[in-house]
């Protein structure tokens, strides 16, 4: 079984800043890690390889520093990694990102299964996986929480829905986006780290992919961020200090009046 897992580097901090001019995230000076939800996709792919045999390839579109994320995935147990990196990819929205990843997957050839994390914690859209499936005309199952079986070129999965769980039988090749319930990500092993350190990762640029440059990067992204605003906490409160019996009685009276105004009592 030939499995491909697209992963993404995201800022390690929750203090993310946006560029108000371009509407894109400012990543300079921020430590990056593998998108936490992609770790579940990696673990799922490795488990399927261990059970059914085959190969797991991780791919990531990003700056040269994204090679660190790929090597971490290889240290966990993936077989190969491909870095897709070019300045012309910078500023891509979810549609443009999926477009480049599709072209990368097509170069791999004979892919049986694509497994992606439910969403990335920086953009939080959950669009890239379904976009890839749509562009490649692959059957899609989102929010997959369990893989029951793979046989006769079909995969049986359970997906998490609002009413509970839904079981699907899907023809391969297919694409799955997975949720946390599907697995518990393993840690990289010492042997895996040694292997990853020695591995030379191929780097695909615009010249290596059959892409139209008009569909790349910020200029090729149809999504437009019109305005960015930081939400403000408008809640306020009143602090009453109690120092003696008189101030205590006043505080109790104010509390009772407040509760009456709010129709609590």
| Percentage of the chain lying above the pLDDT 70 cut | 92
pLDDT at 19: 64
Q: Answer yes or no: is 228 within a domain.
A: no
Cα dihedral 189, 190, 194, 197, rounded to 10, equals 60
Contact 59, 42 (CB under 8 A): no
- 256 and 155 together in one domain: no
pLDDT at 180: 94
- 241 and 185 together in one domain: no
- The pLDDT-based confidence of 193 (bands split at 50, 70, 90) is very high
Q: Answer yes or no: is 208 within a domain.
A: yes
Tokens matching residue 113:
């299964």
- 142 and 262 together in one domain: no
What 8-state DSSP symbol labels residue 99?
H
- 242 and 113 together in one domain: no
H-helix or E-strand spanning residue 256: helix 245-261
Query: Which tens digits make up the pLDDT trace of 65-112?
Result: 999 999 999 999 999 999 999 999 998 999 999 999 999 999 998 999
**Which has the closest alpha carbon to 82: 96, 61, 103?**
61
**Which has the closest alpha carbon to 40: 3, 84, 7?**
7
Residue 166 has pLDDT above 90, yes or no: yes
Q: Answer yes or no: is 222 within a domain.
A: no
Residue 15 has pLDDT above 60, yes or no: no
Residue 251 has pLDDT above 80, yes or no: yes
Contact 113, 140 (CB under 8 A): no
Number of domains in the chain: 2
How far apart are the C-alpha atoms of 41 and 132, rounded to whole Å? Answer: 15
- 242 and 201 together in one domain: no
CA distances from 86 to 6, 67, 175 (A): 17, 13, 26
Contact 75, 196 (CB under 8 A): yes
H-helix or E-strand spanning residue 138: none
Q: Answer yes or no: is 110 within a domain.
A: yes
H-helix or E-strand spanning residue 187: none
How far apart are the C-alpha atoms of 113 and 56, rounded to whole Å? Answer: 10
What's the CATH number where 153 sits?
A: 3.40.50.620
3-state class of 234 per DSSP? Answer: coil
- 101 and 185 together in one domain: yes
Residue 198 has pLDDT above 70, yes or no: yes
Residue 149: strand pairing partners:
156
- 114 and 21 together in one domain: yes
How far apart are the C-alpha atoms of 135 and 160, rounded to whole Å? Answer: 24
Q: Answer yes or no: is 251 within a domain.
A: yes
- 183 and 74 together in one domain: yes
- 160 and 243 together in one domain: no
Q: Which domain holds residue 95?
A: 2-215
Helices (H), 116-244: 128-136, 190-198
- 42 and 121 together in one domain: yes
Contact 104, 59 (CB under 8 A): yes
H-helix or E-strand spanning residue 148: strand 140-151
- 36 and 121 together in one domain: yes
How far apart are the C-alpha atoms of 62 and 90, rounded to whole Å? Answer: 8
3-state class of 197 per DSSP? Answer: helix
How far apart are the C-alpha atoms of 180 and 161, rounded to whole Å? Answer: 14
């Amino acid at each position: 079984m030939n499995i491909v897992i697209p992963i993404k580097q995201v800022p390690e901090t929750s203090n993310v800043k946006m560029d108000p001019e371009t509407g894109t995230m400012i990543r300079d000076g921020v430590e990056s890690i593998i998108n936490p939800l992609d770790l579940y996709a990696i673990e799922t792919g490795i488990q399927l390889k261990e059970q059914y045999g085959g190969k797991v390839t991780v791919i990531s579109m990003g700056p040269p520093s994204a090679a660190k994320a790929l090597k971490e995935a290889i240290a966990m147990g993936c077989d190969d990694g491909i870095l897709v990196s070019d300045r012309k990819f910078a500023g891509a929205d979810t549609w443009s990102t999926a477009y480049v990843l599709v072209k990368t997957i097509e170069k791999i050839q004979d892919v049986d299964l694509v497994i992606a994390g439910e969403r990335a914690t920086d953009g939080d859209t959950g669009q890239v996986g379904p976009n890839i499936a749509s562009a490649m005309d692959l059957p899609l199952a989102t929010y997959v929480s369990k893989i029951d079986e793979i046989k006769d070129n079909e995969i049986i999965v359970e997906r998490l829905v609002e009413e509970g769980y839904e079981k699907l039988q899907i023809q391969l090749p297919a694409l799955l986006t997975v949720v946390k319930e599907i697995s518990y990500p393993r840690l990289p092993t010492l042997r895996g780290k040694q292997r990853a350190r020695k591995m030379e990762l191929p780097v695909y640029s615009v010249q290596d992919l059959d892409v139209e440059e008009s569909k790349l990067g910020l200029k090729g992204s149809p999504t437009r961020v019109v305005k960015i605003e930081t939400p403000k906490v408008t809640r306020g409160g009143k602090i009453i200090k109690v120092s003696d019996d008189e101030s205590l009685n006043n505080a109790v009276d104010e509390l009772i009046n407040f509760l009456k105004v709010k129709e609590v009592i």
